[in-house]
Structure 1
Amino acid sequence: MRQEALKSLFPIMVERRRYLHRHPELSFKEQKTSAYVADVLTKLGIDIIVGVGGNGIIGTIRGQLPGKTVALRADMDALPIQDEKTCDYASQVPGVMHACGHDGHTAVLLAVAEYFSARKEALHGEIRLLFQPAEEVCPGGALSMIEAGALDGVDVIYGVHLWTPIPVGTAASRPGPLMASTDEFFIELSGRGGHGGMPHAAIDSVVAGAALVMQLQSIVSRSVNPLDPAVVTIGSIHGGTAQNVIADTCRLAGTVRCFHEETRQRIRERIEQLAQGTAQAYGAGVSIEYMTGYPSLVNHQPEFERFEQIAAKEAGLAVELSAQIMPAEDFAYYLQRVPGCFMLVGAGNPEKNATYPHHHPKFDIDEDAMLHAAGLLIAMAQAFQSDRQ
């Protein structure tokens, strides 16, 4: 019955997803997207709170039977990427597109809202719908949603990500750390500029910067347990203005990704030590800006086990144990406060040109994945409520 109901909702899911894909909005600027979601929920007779943590929305569906409160979350923001697809639902906003599937997440949760709002008489407890802004940019929207009361009284939370690296018809997750923490750092080395032909009279910040890049590569290989995955990446290095001028400043920017807090703190310590030591060795000054981002996303064992049982039995999906992955997610903040599980729903399909990686200008999904994602969220919520009756 659930699958039949969702099949009837599938056309409107596709319509909503394509509308949102045509009209993407960047993080912290999701005003029109928020208004669109609020309009749909209001027409369904769902109680809503708007403007949560900026542009977020909390929707509440109260069942007529006693039970617990299940929160379901969708993110709504897009990315500063030019859409290069040739299709009738390509982004109409220059330089902005949904290149990570958040339009699909929003359409999925709206379909879930329709499903539960039409079945209040058989619903145990409460379904809390969290339409979250600003997942793509730190500090993200999850913390502000939480501070505004999104998790008050919530017993469990579930979220999905439409994921093109795995094929449509498949779902994956894992217990414990699934997605990495993410931090950013910016290091500026200050030397003394001079003539390229007279290096002895200057302090070359570019040479110091190049040496520091190589020193930082030793952190993962020599300061982190080889069995503990971690990444330290220098994404940019800038210094100098001409080929015959010794640069007085050189700026490095990088990211750190790992799965355990002690590793995270160890890497930060080593970055700061190496930056200061390298600068001193070359006679340069140094300033370090370190920005702490999202924590590692850690699934709860009982809810992962529920996913393993429900995804195949109730949602008809092939189930895989996901590898740990280095992208980050601010859903991690919800899981720090209440039990839950974050699940990857396969959205890749070469036959529908859904093969490009997330954040690619030609990114797209097999829209059948939305049907699977909606079914999985509904089944997980119902299974939790059944266990708590």
Structure 2
Amino acid sequence: MIDKIAAEIDDELIGMRRDIHRHPDLAGEERRTSALVAERLRAAGLAVVTGVGGHGVVAVLDGAGEGPTVAYRADMDAVDDDELFDCAFASQVPGAAHLCGHDLHTAIGVGIALVLARLRKQLNGRVVFVFQPAEETCEGARAMIEDGVLERTAPREIYALHCGSNPVGTFAVGPGQPGQDRFRIELAGPGAADDAKRLVAMIDGLSTVGRPQTPGQLQQLMDDMQTPDGPLARFVYALSHSSSGDDGARVHAYLRAWPESRYAEIREEVRRWVDALPRGRVEFTEPPLPAMVCSPELNAAAASYLRGALGADAVMLLHAAYPFNGEDFAYFLHQVSGAMFYLGVANPEAGINGVPHSPDFAADEHAIGIGVRAMAGFLSHRLDALA
């Protein structure tokens, strides 16, 4: 039944995705996208609240029977950049583009809600749909939590999808994503500019992994992520730059690391470097963006379900985090057990790379229907499992 209903709304969801893609909303400005989501979900009979944590939308679907509550989160905001991929529905907003796939995330979230709304008589429990603003600035999840979304809905579990560079028709299940730390170093004195250049080299030298520049390097990265206790079991990815003027020099840096304990170790190392300079001072972001750590048990449950629903070859098990992106879904997972799965959107034969945040990011739209079918079934399955 899920497949039949999902097939009926495939074209509608692709149209919604293209509409959102043409008219991207930057973080904190998701008025148009949130209004579109709220209108469609109200029409489907869900109880909808808007303005949660900014432009967040919360929609509640109650099944016919009593039961547990599970939640599904989709982010809505665009990236502050221009897209390079040429398509008929390219962004019409200069300096804003859906280069991280949040347009797909939003359309899929709406699709899951529409499918389950048609099946509410078969559901025992409640599904809460959380459409989040401001993921790109890592502000939206905290804002919604501080606005009481979890207290009011009390989900037992929470899930999300993210576009991934795995092939369309597949899912990747993994440990999560790294957090992020930022710091600024102020230097004074006649040798400040030279000290800044040396610090940049030392900070960048912390990196144990670099962004892939070729298809072969990307494939090697994917292989490493699937290797237990492999080269990405522990990693650091650091970037920094310096500037100087008459008043001294400054170094700005950010880094991602796994496991999360590495941040404290790196902070101590950077402090030692700066303390060795006569007129140096370092300021760290307090606290760092936390790592997004998925529940191993719920990852296993999802992998088992998805293999049964889609076939054994449709699920890729990751043993390491993707080093280059963070995700503020971490704040939800720090309070509620759950997981994020990676929906394959790449189609190399069609020139679609599926790499989020790349300037030529593109996604195979068949992934929308695949995501809707898989997650509608999985959320229904989790309601039964928790009952």
1:212 aligns with 2:219: no
The answer as to 2:146 corresponding to 1:147 is yes
Residue 295 of structure 1 corresponds to which residue in structure 2?
A: 290
Change (3 A) 1:220 1:114: closer
Q: Structure 1 counterpart of 2:35, which letter?
A: A
Alignment counterpart, residue 235 of structure 1, candidates 228, 237, 240 = 240
Q: Per-residue displacement from partner, 1:114-170 (whole Å, max 9, x unpaired)?
A: 1111121111100100000011113x211121222222321111110011x211111
Measured against aligned partners, the alpha-carbon deviations of 1:327-366 in whole angstroms (never above 9, x if no partner) come to 1111111111111111001100023321163222321100
Correspondence 1:5 to 2:18: no
Q: TM-score, normalised by structure 2?
A: 0.88
Q: Secondary structure at the match of 2:355?
A: coil
User: Structure 1, residues 62-100: CA drift from partner, whole Å, max 9, x if none?
Assistant: 011121101001000001111223222000001110000
Q: Aligned partners of 1:285, 1:263: CA distance in 2, in Å?
A: 23
2:334 pairs with 1:336: yes
Q: Deviations over 1:41-73 (max 9, x none)?
A: 111121111100001011000011121101001
Distance 1:30 1:340 in 2: 25
Q: Secondary structure at the match of 2:180?
A: strand
- Structure of higher CA gyration radius: 1
How far apart, CA to CA, are the structure 1 residues paired with 2:385 and 2:194? Answer: 63
Distance in 2, matches of 1:11 and 1:76, equals: 20
Equivalent position to 2:351, from 345, 350, 353: 353
Matched with 1:372 is 370
Structure 1 residue 256: Cα displacement: 1.8
1:271-310 deviations in Å (ceiling 9; x for gaps): 2221222x22xxx343434353421111112211111111
Stretches of structure 2 lacking an aligned partner (at least 5 in a row): 209-230
CA RMSD of aligned residues (A): 1.9
Pick which of 335-344 and 349-358 moved more: 349-358
Higher mean C-alpha deviation, range 78-87 or range 351-360: 351-360
**TM-score for both structures, normalised by structure 1:** 0.87
Partners in 1 of 2:377 and 2:303 — Cα distance? 12
Taking structure 1 as reference, are residues 363 and 215 closer, same or farther at Cα in structure 2, changes over 3 Å only?
closer
Number of the residue aligned with 1:304: 299
- Following the alignment from structure 2 to structure 1, what is the Cα–Cα distance between the partners of residues 233 and 266? 12
Mapping 1:311-330, distance limit 5 Å? 311-316=306-311, 318-322=314-318, 323-326=320-323, 327-330=325-328
Deviates more, 1:343-352 or 1:15-24: 343-352
The one-letter amino acid paired with 1:324 is: A
Whether the aligned pair in 1 keeps the contact of 2:62 and 2:120 (CA below 8 Å) is: yes
**Alpha-carbon distance in 2 for matches of 1:147, 1:315:** 37
Give distance in 2, aligned partners of 1:207 and 1:100.
37
In structure 2, distance between residues paired with 1:293 and 1:132: 21
| Cα separation, 1, equivalents of 2:288 and 2:170 | 30
- Code of the aligned partner of 1:239: S
Aligned to 1:87: 87
Amino acid at match of 1:216: I
Contact 1:315 1:372 in 2 (8 A): no
Deviates more, 1:144-153 or 1:72-81: 144-153
Partners of 1:216 and 1:232 within 8 A in 2? no
- Alignment: residue pair count: 360
Work out the percentage of aligned pairs sharing the same amino acid. Answer: 33
Moved more, 285-294 or 53-62: 285-294
